[in-house]
């Protein structure tokens, strides 16, 4: 009864249009959701409603999103909406979905199932390493042979968005060649292909243009072959190979069409042609497809085709129900009116107009996209035109200070400075720094510019070559070394006079009379570290070398003392790069890693950054408008609104796809200006209470800048023709709350640190063992050294998972072949040689103290697996699940886990097995908590009846089994709640 009331309460909180969308039964549904109208709420409540009504299980719903962040937020909200736990919720990006089904079925279309996914930079490096194979002429200028690699890689990605295969491109170029040759032979009268003839005449295609197209199509073919030769795919391949799989393997298509009873697509306006084709395939005849979109917020679409998907959806599903969400729960009405009046300048290339002019009959009331504010009151809108950039920055900073002082209930997180491009951020970062206002520049790139990363790279360069004097100079200037300026200059002068490296000078530092004794000691320490770490680098991974540098130099301690939590995330990102390289490279030494970084920088790559908007202390956000999509703030500053800055100058694609190959509907009018207007519309609709637009006449050039045309198109140019009085930044006089500064900059307050949304057993165990270590590992995420036991354990788990998975796949194949006859599938095990091969491929080579210990572990693993194989061969278990994930609700919290193996027993009950490396302990000393959590999940999430819980010890292939009583399960729940509440209360002492 209580649960039904909660469900009703959830629906009662929705408005009529939202409720109609959530409770839509079967068939296609189009939801046009304006900014701030609660589209994420509608999607998550619809998922919960479908499950609660018994229309689908969690694993029978597929929700596809545009970004990982959106997928994470949606899953978190579904988690809160469902009263019980769940398993295998398919809420993910298009690429993650395609990757998952390809890993399961890639072999069915001749693609290796252990493929590696390349980043954009890795694609660039692949082309660069194999440049000679591309036979480039037009796209390989002599002075800069790598100039067009980025353009080519981007072009290939765009082709894949349109599902244009290399063969399609080659045939197109060959067709033009045949027609041109035919026209020349017949005096300009070709009868071969009238359409291509028209294309040739219309576009003025000549011999040189056809050679260019042939070069591009051949390069595309070579690139695709290089990927396959290396067992690699790029992001576009994921979607296209998934399409190929489902189109050519009807049995697999039917499997997924049968599984996904309902499909939901978020940000539908930004999906590309190939992604939409995938959605239509999966929806099949059931057509239980819900798409949510808003053409006015389309800022990622190819050539501005913001309306094409929605119009195509209406053509594909003419019977689709249409619901328009226009009640806004974010902004004040005058801000919404400003945005709506502005975006209408994109007419007639908007959905609102298209539906009327194309006379498409609506099944609901006529569409209006004018948003209606549900929050009373008028918002503050202000425009400021500054003399120069410094004046603009000062005005923005002082306005932030003024608003913060006048609105004490607001936090720094309520302020955002929106920029059109990342290179516009520096002036505002400097201004906020001068005013001692905490800020976070949320950028997707820039890892290599971070101080800690530059320090690490400098040290690695030194280990590779002691005579890199620029790198040595940086190490001498490390904050934890602190060599005095006079000593630094003396060392530099001596090195220059003797024409030698700084390293050689440090070795001779005894002859420098004017050097402080403390400096001599520090020099000796640095030289000893160099010797020690050079030896380490010959045997260990780059990650191990980085962590040893951080430890020995006291860098990690320095960052902890200075509360620089962000720096740890930069170190993790750099280590991740090193680990990714090691996975694909035989040579795991420093040189290949440094070469990769050098090539990335040469390619214009700045290094990827994780965009953790909610991590760490509260801060003013500085971000691009693209990054701000989906976010909201009390106070929004849209800056640099000057001509040619915003709207920006149009930059056409260096290599465009021929129109004949494009499958989407390209809009008319000024495509670039329409795109920029949609971007500005997104920026304005981020504002809840206050919106500030700023520009300057001088940004350092010779001529004065005119205000952006957008200023006048909003009507603000005429309304605010006042020059605000200048006031230099003076934080002491204008900012009267130093206590807040101390809290924000000096350390992390409880409420301002992002805590986990869900907890695993390993997290809870770490907190129970040592709360402070938990704080370092899971809250600050300080990179730490691994150990041999961990590497070995991970190797064994991975090996068994892959081996048992191969066994399942072979058994399923036999069932399909022999109609499910049990006698045919009982003993179909991969061979011992296959298991050994999997083990060797899964081997993790890190953190063994020496080669002897590594070989000892390797031998132990082989012996254990041999015994395991013999045992399983003699008595094959009936395995029904491997790596079975779950989300379990305990009180108000969520516990996540992955069960290694679930076996079906003869009486219909199940056994839950968890693998352990090491030897079996005394049953009375076994920590039962992990398996008791799994038993709770089995009961409350899966509805299984458990007969036994098993720890399987691989070293001597023995088991310890038990089963939790109701009392044990109740105590486990209480213990989990107690541990989680300790974390939530920041009890990390």
In angstroms, the Cα distances linking 903 to 577, 805, 962 are 38, 13, 15
Residue 194 has pLDDT above 50, yes or no: no
- Pairing type for strands 116-117 and 90-93 reads unpaired
Residue 16 has pLDDT above 80, yes or no: yes
In angstroms, the Cα distances linking 272 to 60, 172, 214, 606, 933 are 24, 21, 25, 27, 42
Q: What percent of the chain has pLDDT over 70?
A: 85
**Burial category of 721 from C-beta neighbours within 10 Å (exposed 0-12, middle 13-18, buried 19 and up):** exposed
Give the tens place of pLDDT for each residue, 743-772: 333 333 443 456 777 888 988 988 888 887
pLDDT for res 729: 42
Residue 876 has pLDDT above 80, yes or no: yes
Per the CB < 8 A criterion, the answer to whether 417 and 690 are in contact is: no
Q: How confident is the model at residue 169 (pLDDT cuts 50, 70, 90)?
A: very high
pLDDT for res 704: 84
Mean pLDDT across the stretch 861-873?
91
pLDDT for res 751: 39
Determine which of 33-42, 562-571, 833-842, 857-866 has the lowest per-residue pLDDT on average. Answer: 562-571
Q: How confident is the model at residue 906 (pLDDT cuts 50, 70, 90)?
A: confident
Determine which of 156-165, 636-645, 780-789, 861-870 has the lowest per-residue pLDDT on average. Answer: 780-789
In the block, tokens 């498409």 appear at 360
On average, the pLDDT of the chain sits at: 83
In angstroms, the Cα distances linking 655 to 139, 151, 211, 511 are 10, 6, 14, 61
Q: How confident is the model at residue 302 (pLDDT cuts 50, 70, 90)?
A: low
pLDDT for res 160: 95
CA distance 792 to 775: 25
pLDDT for res 901: 93
Of 738 and 21, which is predicted with more confidence? 21
pLDDT for res 744: 33
In the block, tokens 């990622």 appear at 300
Taking each helix axis from N to C end, the angle separating 590-602 and 565-584, rounded to the nearest 10 degrees, works out to 110
Mean pLDDT across the stretch 868-875?
89
Q: How confident is the model at residue 300 (pLDDT cuts 50, 70, 90)?
A: confident
Residues ≥6 apart with Cβ < 8 Å to 432? 397, 400, 438, 439, 620, 622
Residue 269 has pLDDT above 50, yes or no: yes
Residues ≥6 apart with Cβ < 8 Å to 284? 253, 257
In angstroms, the Cα distances linking 298 to 158, 187, 648, 985 are 17, 47, 17, 41
Enter the tokens of residue 952. Answer: 């399987």
Q: How confident is the model at residue 818 (pLDDT cuts 50, 70, 90)?
A: very low
Q: How confident is the model at residue 190 (pLDDT cuts 50, 70, 90)?
A: very low
Residue 785 has pLDDT above 80, yes or no: no
Residue 290 has pLDDT above 90, yes or no: yes
Of 709 and 184, which is predicted with more confidence? 709
**Burial category of 489 from C-beta neighbours within 10 Å (exposed 0-12, middle 13-18, buried 19 and up):** exposed
Query: Could you give the angle at the alpha carbon of 338 between the alpha carbons of 333 and 341, nearest 5°?
Result: 115
Enter the tokens of residue 450. Answer: 């971070």
Residue 731 has pLDDT above 70, yes or no: no
pLDDT for res 721: 46
pLDDT for res 365: 54
Q: How confident is the model at residue 819 (pLDDT cuts 50, 70, 90)?
A: very low
CA distance 397 to 420: 18
Give the tens place of pLDDT for each residue, 383-393: 999 999 999 99
pLDDT for res 140: 80
Mean pLDDT across the stretch 415-440?
90
Per the CB < 8 A criterion, the answer to whether 524 and 508 are in contact is: no
The three-state DSSP-derived secondary structure of 539-594 is HCCHHHHHHHHHHHCCHHHHHHHCCCHHHHHHHHHHHHHHHHHHHHCCCCCHHHHH
Residue 702 has pLDDT above 70, yes or no: yes
pLDDT for res 375: 94
pLDDT for res 612: 56
Give the tens place of pLDDT for each residue, 643-667: 889 998 887 888 888 888 888 777 6
Residue 252 has pLDDT above 90, yes or no: yes
Q: How confident is the model at residue 5 (pLDDT cuts 50, 70, 90)?
A: very low
Q: How confident is the model at residue 187 (pLDDT cuts 50, 70, 90)?
A: low
Determine which of 179-183, 451-455, 559-563, 591-595 has the lowest per-residue pLDDT on average. Answer: 179-183
Per the CB < 8 A criterion, the answer to whether 879 and 903 are in contact is: yes
Please provide the size of the chain in residues: 989
Give the tens place of pLDDT for each residue, 391-414: 999 999 999 999 999 998 999 999
Per the CB < 8 A criterion, the answer to whether 842 and 799 are in contact is: yes
**Burial category of 626 from C-beta neighbours within 10 Å (exposed 0-12, middle 13-18, buried 19 and up):** middle
pLDDT for res 204: 56
pLDDT for res 397: 95
Residue 117 has pLDDT above 80, yes or no: yes
Q: How confident is the model at residue 83 (pLDDT cuts 50, 70, 90)?
A: low
Return the DSSP state at 731: H
Q: How confident is the model at residue 936 (pLDDT cuts 50, 70, 90)?
A: very high
Determine which of 361-370, 886-895, 897-906 has the lowest per-residue pLDDT on average. Answer: 361-370
Going through 751-803 in order, the beta strands assigned E by DSSP cover: 759-760
Mean pLDDT across the stretch 34-61?
91
pLDDT for res 678: 94
Determine which of 182-196, 446-460, 471-485 has the lowest per-residue pLDDT on average. Answer: 182-196
> 864: number of CA atoms within 13 Å, CB side?
26
Continuous segment of H or E residues that includes residue 48 = helix 39-52
Give the tens place of pLDDT for each residue, 558-595: 888 876 667 888 888 888 888 877 776 667 778 888 88
Per the CB < 8 A criterion, the answer to whether 381 and 334 are in contact is: yes
Q: How confident is the model at residue 874 (pLDDT cuts 50, 70, 90)?
A: confident
Residue 224 has pLDDT above 60, yes or no: yes
Give the best-scoring range by mean pLDDT among 103-107, 249-253, 939-943: 249-253
In angstroms, the Cα distances linking 254 to 89, 259, 261, 817 are 20, 8, 12, 17
Q: How confident is the model at residue 789 (pLDDT cuts 50, 70, 90)?
A: confident
Domains, the chain, in order of start with CATH, read: 2-109+238-329 (3.40.50.300), 119-230 (no CATH), 380-444+615-743 (3.40.50.300), 447-602 (1.10.486.10), 788-984 (3.90.320)
Residue 453 has pLDDT above 60, yes or no: yes
Rounded to the nearest 5 percent, the helix, strand and coil shares of the chain are 55, 15, 30
Other beta carbons within 10 angstroms of residue 956's beta carbon come to 10
Of 352 and 925, which is predicted with more confidence? 352
């Amino acid at each position: 009864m209580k649960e039904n009331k909660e469900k009703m309460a959830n629906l009662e909180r929705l408005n009529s249009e939202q409720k109609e969308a959530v409770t839509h039964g079967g068939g296609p549904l189009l939801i046009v959701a304006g900014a701030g109208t609660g589209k994420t709420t509608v999607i998550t409540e619809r998922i919960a409603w479908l499950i609660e009504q018994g229309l689908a299980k969690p694993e029978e719903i597929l929700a596809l999103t545009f970004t990982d962040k959106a997928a994470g937020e949606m899953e978190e909200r579904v988690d809160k909406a469902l009263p019980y736990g769940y398993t295998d919720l398919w809420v993910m990006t298009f690429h993650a979905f395609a990757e998952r089904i390809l890993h399961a079925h890639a072999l069915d279309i001749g693609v290796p199932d252990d493929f590696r996914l390349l980043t954009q930079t890795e694609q660039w490096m692949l082309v660069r390493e194999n440049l000679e194979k591309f036979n480039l002429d037009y796209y390989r200028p002599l002075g800069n042979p790598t100039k067009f690699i980025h353009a080519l890689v981007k072009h290939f990605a765009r082709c894949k968005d349109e599902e244009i295969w290399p063969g399609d491109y080659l045939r197109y170029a060959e067709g033009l060649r045949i027609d041109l040759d035919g026209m020349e032979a017949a005096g300009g009268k070709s009868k071969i292909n009238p359409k291509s003839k028209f294309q040739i005449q219309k576009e003025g295609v000549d011999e040189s243009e056809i050679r260019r197209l042939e070069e591009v199509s051949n390069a595309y073919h070579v690139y695709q072959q290089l990927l396959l030769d290396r067992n690699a795919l790029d992001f576009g391949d994921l979607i296209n190979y998934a399409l190929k799989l489902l189109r050519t393997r009807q049995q697999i298509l039917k499997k997924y069409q049968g599984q996904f009873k309902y499909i939901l697509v978020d940000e539908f306006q930004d999906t590309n042609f190939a992604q939409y084709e995938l959605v239509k395939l999966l929806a099949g005849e059931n057509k239980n497809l819900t798409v949510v979109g808003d053409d006015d917020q389309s800022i990622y679409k190819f050539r501005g085709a913001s309306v094409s998907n929605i119009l195509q959806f209406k053509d594909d599903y003419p019977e689709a129900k249409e619901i328009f969400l226009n009640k806004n729960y974010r902004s004040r009405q005058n801000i919404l009116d400003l945005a709506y009046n502005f975006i209408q300048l994109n007419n007639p290339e908007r959905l609102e107009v298209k539906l009327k002019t194309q006379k498409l009959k609506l099944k609901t009331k006529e569409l209006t996209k004018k948003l209606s504010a549900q929050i009373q009151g008028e918002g503050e809108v202000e425009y400021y035109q500054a003399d120069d950039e410094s004046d603009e920055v000062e005005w923005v900073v002082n306005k932030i200070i003024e608003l913060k002082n006048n609105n004490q209930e607001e936090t720094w997180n309520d302020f955002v400075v929106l920029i059109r491009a990342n290179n516009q951020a520096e002036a505002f970062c400097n201004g906020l720094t001068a005013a001692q206002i905490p800020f976070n520049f949320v950028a997707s790139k820039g890892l290599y510019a971070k101080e800690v990363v530059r320090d690490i790279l400098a040290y690695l360069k030194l280990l590779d070559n002691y005579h890199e004097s620029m790198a040595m100079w940086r190490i001498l200037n490390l904050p934890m070394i602190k060599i005095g300026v006079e000593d630094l200059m003396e060392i530099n002068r001596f090195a220059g006079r003797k024409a030698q490296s700084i390293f050689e000078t440090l070795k001779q530092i005894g002859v420098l009379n004017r050097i402080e004794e403390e400096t001599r000691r520090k020099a000796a320490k640095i030289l000893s570290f160099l010797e020690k770490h050079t030896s380490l680098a010959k045997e260990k991974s780059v990650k191990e070398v980085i962590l040893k540098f951080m430890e020995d130099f006291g860098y990690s301690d320095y960052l902890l003392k200075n509360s620089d939590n962000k720096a740890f995330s930069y170190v993790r990102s750099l280590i991740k790069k090193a680990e990714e390289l090691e996975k694909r490279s035989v040579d795991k030494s420093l040189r290949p890693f440094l070469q990769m970084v050098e090539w990335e920088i040469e390619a214009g790559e700045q290094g990827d950054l994780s965009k953790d908007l909610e991590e760490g202390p509260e801060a003013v956000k500085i971000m691009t408008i693209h990054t701000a999509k989906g976010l909201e703030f009390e106070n929004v500053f849209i800056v640099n609104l000057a001509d040619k800055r915003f709207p920006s100058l149009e930059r056409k694609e260096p290599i465009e796809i021929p129109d004949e190959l494009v499958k989407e509907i390209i809009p008319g009018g000024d495509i670039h200006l329409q795109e920029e207007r949609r971007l500005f519309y997104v920026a304005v609709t981020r504002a809840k209470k206050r919106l500030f637009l700023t520009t300057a006449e001088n940004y350092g050039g010779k001529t004065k800048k005119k205000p952006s045309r957008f200023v006048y198109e909003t009507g603000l140019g005429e309304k605010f023709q006042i020059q605000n009085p200048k006031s230099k930044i003076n934080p002491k006089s204008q900012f009267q709350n130093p206590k807040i500064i101390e809290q924000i900059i000096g350390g992390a307050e409880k409420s301002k640190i992002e805590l986990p949304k869900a907890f695993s057993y390993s997290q809870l165990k770490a907190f129970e063992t040592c709360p402070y270590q938990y704080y370092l590992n899971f809250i600050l995420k300080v990179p730490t050294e691994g150990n041999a036991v961990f590497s070995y354990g991970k190797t064994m788990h991975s090996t068994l998972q892959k081996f048992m998975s191969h066994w399942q796949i072979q058994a399923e194949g036999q069932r399909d072949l022999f109609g499910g006859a049990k006698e045919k599938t009982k003993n179909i095990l991969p061979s011992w040689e296959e298991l050994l091969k999997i083990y060797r491929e899964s081997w993790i080579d890190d953190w063994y103290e020496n080669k002897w210990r590594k070989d000892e572990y390797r031998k132990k693993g082989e012996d254990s697996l041999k015994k395991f194989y013999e045992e399983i061969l003699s008595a094959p278990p009936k395995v029904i699940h491997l790596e079975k994930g779950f989300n379990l609700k305990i009180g108000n919290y969520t516990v996540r886990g992955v069960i290694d193996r679930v076996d079906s027993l003869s009486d219909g009950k199940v056994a839950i097995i968890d693998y352990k490396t090491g030897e079996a302990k005394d049953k009375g000393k076994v920590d039962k908590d992990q398996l008791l959590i799994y038993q709770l999940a089995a009961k409350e999430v899966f509805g299984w009846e458990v007969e036994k819980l098993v720890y399987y010890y691989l070293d001597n292939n023995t088991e310890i089994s038990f089963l939790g009583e109701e009392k044990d399960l109740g105590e486990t729940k209480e213990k989990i709640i107690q541990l989680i509440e300790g974390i939530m209360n920041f009890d990390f002492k």
